[in-house]
Structure 1
Amino acid sequence: MKEKELVQKIISHIEEISGGLYILNQSNIKRADFIKYIFDLECYIGCKINPILVEVWNRFNGCSFNKNIGIKPDDRIPTLGDGELIELTRFFSIESTGDDVLEMLRSNADIFGKEYIPFAEAIEGDFFVLSSKGNGIYYVLHDFNEDEKCFHKVADTISDFFMAVQLMVATEKIDNEKMRIVSSSLSSPLLSKLKKFKENNK
């Protein structure tokens, strides 16, 4: 499948299962400005970012969704029950007036290094990141014990990740209120926790 067709398939899949976007939360920067921010990220990490992620991120930059969507992890994650999905709450707003992803990388270099690019927020402030080396997608915990790993692989490729995203259906075993948590911005408490983690691990 050609790249352009794959991108459109991914976008259509996400829009269909998510029930549409919270348009008020959507960033309205021009494509040229978005690409400029991508270029700045590429200069920082020293390599090109997967073009499929670039196009999908450009479409959903700063967006959250009308319905809860998530992905089933390959790894066993202590904070999740068996069969529980990791919620994809929103795409980060790349620009400096939004989440400022470049500054996120700089201020948390000891966590992300120059390999992992955070592009979306998971439930309760965790991250979905792209590995610039292998193009795998990882779920990154922002709050974890020293004996726990914080990086959990969820997909081998960016297209596998997006096409595996599915609607989260409430069951008796899942707390509906927990599933409704959606962040409107990267919270200050999250950044404070990351800073505290760095200080405790110097």
Structure 2
Amino acid sequence: MNTTRVLLIGVIFLGLAASGPLLPTGANAQADCDPIEDRSLCIEAVELSEESLVLGEQGEFTVTVRNTGETVTSGTVVLHTASPENETEAYEVETITIDPGEQASVSRAINASTVGTHGLRFSVLDAETRQPADVSEVHTIEVLESHPAELGGPIDRTELALVAFLGAILSLVGLGYRMVQS
């Protein structure tokens, strides 16, 4: 009984550790969002359509910014990239104006044109002072030369047939076992 409890507690702790920190970090932490005078724009979320793309494919990113200040505020969303060779670039994506308490999202396509792992970080600059109001954590996208050869992707007919076949075999083994037992 004690062994079962210890194993159960261990599994719970491993699950919590694998799920990440309990407190928000990066783009989700309000403490990282610095107000500039009476204006405050915070990056609420960064979403990437894919974690990996094949050379020539296209993905998408979406950045959601919230105005946590007291006045209507404008800000510029900037994409900072790091190539596999660690060359960095910054691109102004869009300038947005947000009412207090409201949020706005900006989406753009990502072209997979260079093989390797690319780093993406987003910032929002106050439109009046050009000072960074908030910066996201680093996200990565891996660009592959071709689709991986291993299993993956959507389940196809062959995989469904294999599961049905294995289920039938297990059923026959179970029936045979019951016949031997009786």
TM-score, length basis structure 2: 0.23
- Structure 1 or 2, whichever has the larger Rg, is 2
TM-score, length basis structure 1: 0.22
